[in-house]
Amino acid sequence: MTRAPAGDFRIPVYEGHNNKNYGGISMYERVERIKKRVVVDTYPICIEKYRITLDVLEHTKNDPVIIQRAKILDATVERMPIAIADDELIVGVGASKPMGLEIDPNYGIWSQDEIDSLIEDGYQMDPQDVIDLQELNKKHDPATMIGQMGDVFYETENERILSLLKAGLILPPWKDKAQGRGVGGGYCQSGLGLGPSLILLAVDYSKILTHGTNALIRQCEEEMTKLRYYNKGDLDKYRYYKAVIMSLGAMNKLAARYSALASEMAAKEADPVRRQELEMIAKNCARVPAEPPTTFWEAVQCFWFQYLMLSPSTTLPGCRFDQYMYPFYQKDIENNGITPEFATELLCCLRLKDMELNRTSGKNNRKKNAGMAKWHNFTIGGQKADGTDGTNDLTYLMLDAALITKTPHHTLTVRVHEGTPEKLLIKALEVVKAGLGLPAFISDDSYIKCFTSRGVPIEDAREYVMTGCLDANLPGKSRTGPVPMVTIPLIFDIFRHNGINVKNGEKCGIEVGNFADYKSFEELYAAFEKELQYCMDVVGEKNNVELQITQELLVDPLRSALMFEGIESGMDTFRRTMPFENGAVINPIGMVNVGDSLAAIKKLVFDDRKYTLAELQEALDADWEGFDQMHEDFIAAPKFGNDDDYVDEIVARCYKSFTDYCGEIPTILGGVHIPTGISITSHQPGGQLTGATPDGRKAGEILADGTMSPMHGMDKKGPTAVLNSAMKVDQDPFQATLLNMRFSPSSLKTEEDLAKLGMMIRAYLTHGGKHIQFNVVDNETLRAAQEDPKKYRDLVVRVAGYSCYFVQLTRAMQDEVIDRTQQTLC
């Protein structure tokens, strides 16, 4: 295809967000026009998908779940309204209204109260839909994950588990049964697929890109001929294949509808340039995904159809887009079918498409995941399977597209190893400097070890990608279900009160001893470790319940088919033991606060003998009120993030206790629990639940974010000291860790500045560090945005692993971002 570039092809002038001249920069006109449509601050709530789903459920009562689910997919693509908006080059929408969020039928029921709260928060809903929704609700009594878990945990036999869930061991805390089951509220999201929403799963996109859906359908048909029903499980396989065929067929139907619509629109289009574009869209959609793409444009469209039908998912990854798309790009460039500029424009269109996929949730969860949180993570750079560097032209164009669109989604993560070109680091830092809060930088070395240390062949391990925020998975070969956020300082609270939840006086943990009676630090540590292990065991139990409910309720023929041997195995991905088994993980929140606390105790109680544990207990329960001198001393005790071995070794030890014990907790999928370490924004609600801690923190205050970030404001020795502390923790066993750092834009002026920051990043990531990301904004800008959110609508901030708009954060989260120690360079 040859094509005159639409709009202005100048490279934009990158300016910080503190610049008042908003919109004064040049960029592709197309991008700017689409952006006006997709960067909005209010989203319509829709009930079309809910309506369709309920209708299918009513007519498929006697079908096995997997067939029911495939029929829902089929009906959704057939009946949902479709649209092609002006300027679009990549087509396919995920909701019945522009920028819409569809009520998700698979999660809790949206009560009137929850809907009112949504509208209060600025979401729009058609008044008739509000009425219809409550009518639909009456017909719908879905078997939901949360409902089924409630059926288990609200029973008296499982009181020991409920007492910890109510204490808030896993966020968000459970309410009493009388106040509604589980956590209440549901999800509203966009995407044409089945969900579930929050699992970490990387499909192998290259399957459809290489073979096309028709070939996969033929493969299913062939497998079906081999079935013999005296074999156990073959009937299940038969149903699975029927469902997979229906699901892949649904994807073809969707493409056919778009092809027809584009032709229709082309026939009516007066503008010859746009007519030609629409004709190309019609042609693209007539080919993909049924047949493998022949051009880069077709390949991007093919990717988008997959992505749309694997959504809704707030954690859907783009995997190694620069790797598996490169052959299409390269071929097009060699055949003069495309220019790098047009490829960039397509990548921009894809980014803007992703802005249409959103989610919101019930009141409780809205608090936990601040902003319109999503983690559509595309991994770029890094080693290829053979160990050589994979950076290519597409890697750079994807960074360009982020600079041009200046949107926070999809996010990008750069894999760094010894052989990563300096040029790529500088380019990536230019994007960071633009204030987009992306990309993040991760270590090939440490992530690869996470897999190889557990027996994965190195060639497979080198293909790892980011799923969700920063969790690694192998495309097609592994996936993670539950990711519980476990507040460790809360366990410390329970430990300090010998198993009692002080908020209600109920027993929730185990008795390990009276806090005041420990005679040595080792004795105290061993007792804490016991409480920790008890709580982790309970988390493991809950995870396994969740896994089984996922197996029963949330089967997904489409995404299962796109996994490694997804067709050959004839099984849903959550029923199989995958080549790498990380079906369930545990995510500690606030471990740094516990490490700092233990260091303060060791120093002031056992080394210096300045205070007794009884005095400390009293001061903590009084929230330090009336204990000024003591409070001062505990604040002044060594803190993680200052390269001080005294405390760093204790933090490292806490993490080791945690990671070692994860490996002791089995899953029903045939593996054990894997440790992970992100906090998203859970350090805020986690902190709210937790009493005063011996690190000097007061009750209810926010906890340290991430896993490797120091407690905010406590790192006082500059960025390298933070990294030195973090490198003392064995991060390799984690499938993610997180370290946030913030720089002011004025400190990254020249290319030399960026090169040096690149050197620091590389040094960290090749010597034990796993992840680092940067916020580049100044506090004045952030304060101004708090006061005048409308004006700063597009101010992007990286909060613990994902980008979102600053003005969408809660005030407390905004304050936390502002307070985080600002690293200034000399």
Partner 1 sequence: MTADRTVKTTVFNIQTYCIHDGPGIRVTVFVKGCPLRCVWCANPESNLRKPQLMFYKDKCTACGRCVDRCPEKAISIRQEKDKYISFTDRSLCKDCGACVSACMQEARELAGEEMTVEAVINRVKKDKLFMETSGGGMTISGGEVLFCPEFTENLLMAVHEEGIQTAVESSCFASREVIDRVYRHVDLALCDIKHMDTNLHREYTGVPNEQILANIRHIHNDLQVPVWARIPCITGYNSDKVNIASTARFIRNELGTDVRVCLLPYHRLGESKNESLGKDMDWSIEIPSDDYMQELKAMVEGYGLTVQVGG
19 contacts partner 1 (rule: CB under 8 A): no
> What are the backbone dihedrals phi and psi of residue 776, each rounded to the nearest 5 degrees, phi first?
-120, 90
Q: For the CA atoms of the chain, what is the radius of gyration?
A: 26
CB of 766 to partner 1, least distance (A): 8
Closer residue to partner 1 (CB): 4 or 826:
826
822: phi then psi, degrees, rounded to nearest 5: -90, 115
Question: Is the previous residue joined to 409 through a cis bond, with omega within 30 degrees of 0?
Answer: no
Going residue by residue from 357 to 376, which x/- string records binding to partner 1, judged by CB under 8 A?
--------------------
Between residue 514 and residue 533, which ones bind partner 1 under the rule CB under 8 A?
A: none
As a whole number of angstroms, the distance between CA 612 and CA 634 comes to 13
Measured from the CB of residue 780, what is the shortest distance to partner 1 in angstroms? 14
- Binders of partner 1 among residues 622 to 651 (CB under 8 A) are 628, 631-632, 635-636, 643
Asked if 825 is part of the footprint of partner 1 (rule: CB under 8 A), the reply reads yes
Residue closer to partner 1 (CB basis): 469 or 600: 600
Residue 18 vs 473, nearer CB to partner 1:
18
- The span from the CA of 546 to the CA of 182, in Å, is 13
What is each CA distance from 301 to 327, 346, 347, 713, in whole angstroms?
15, 9, 11, 46
Amino acid identity, position 776: V
Instruction: Kindly report whether the peptide bond that precedes residue 98 is cis, defined as omega within 30 degrees of 0.
Output: no
Closest of 4, 90, 6 to residue 298, by C-alpha? 90
In whole angstroms, how close is the CB of 763 to partner 1 at the nearest point? Answer: 4
Site string for partner 1, 746-785 (x = CB under 8 A): ---xx-xx--xx-xx-xx---x------------------
* Contacting range for partner 1; rule: CB under 8 A; set: 302-310, 459-467, 697-705, 744-752: 744-752
Q: CB–CB of 436/803 below 8 Å?
A: yes
CB 557 within 8 A of CB 243: yes
Rounded to the nearest whole angstrom, what is the least distance from the CB of residue 753 to partner 1 in the complex? 6
User: 192-212 burial by CB neighbour count: b if 16+ within 10 A, else e?
Assistant: bbbbbbbbbbbbbbbbbbeeb
Q: Which is nearer to partner 1, 274 or 631 (CB)?
A: 631
Is residue 59 within the footprint of partner 1 (CB under 8 A)? no
Shortest separation between residue 825's beta carbon and partner 1, angstroms: 6
Give the residue with the Cβ less far from partner 1, 134 or 766: 766
Q: How far is the CB of 635 from partner 1 (least distance, A)?
A: 8
- Residue 779 CB neighbour total at 10 angstroms: 14
Total residue length of the chain: 826
Burial of residue 107 (CB within 10 Å: 0-12, 13-18, 19+) is: buried
**Of 546 and 644, CB closest to partner 1:** 644
Binding mask of the shown chain, residues 698 to 727, with x at each position contacting partner 1 by CB under 8 A: -------------------xxxxx-xx---
Cis bond leading into 289, ω under 30°?
yes
Least distance CB 399 / partner 1 (angstroms) = 22
- Cβ proximity to partner 1: between 331 and 717 the closer is 717
**Nearer to partner 1 by C-beta: 179 or 629?**
629
* 826 belongs to the binding site for partner 1 (CB under 8 A): yes
Nearer to partner 1, 676 or 821 (CB): 821
Q: How far is the CB of 516 from partner 1 (least distance, A)?
A: 27
Q: Min. distance of Cβ 719 from partner 1 in angstroms?
A: 5
Q: Residues touching partner 1: how many (CB under 8 A)?
A: 27
Within 10 angstroms of residue 152's Cβ, the number of other Cβ atoms is 16
823 contributes a contact to partner 1 by CB under 8 A: yes
Cβ–Cβ < 8 Å for 772, 441: yes
In terms of CB distance, is 546 or 648 closer to partner 1?
648
Minimal CA–CA distance to 822: which of 716, 724, 731?
Answer: 716
| DSSP-assigned beta bridge partners for residue 746 | none
The secondary structure element, H or E, covering residue 812 is: helix 811-819
Q: Which is nearer to partner 1, 579 or 718 (CB)?
A: 718
Residue 289: closest CA among 382, 211, 385: 211
Cβ 430 to partner 1 shortest distance, Å: 16
| Residue 760 CB, nearest approach to partner 1 (Å) | 6
Find, among 360, 362, 365, the residue nearest to 314 by Cα: 360
Which residues lie near partner 1 (CB under 8 A)? 628, 631-632, 635-636, 643, 717-721, 723-724, 749-750, 752-753, 756-757, 759-760, 762-763, 767, 823, 825-826
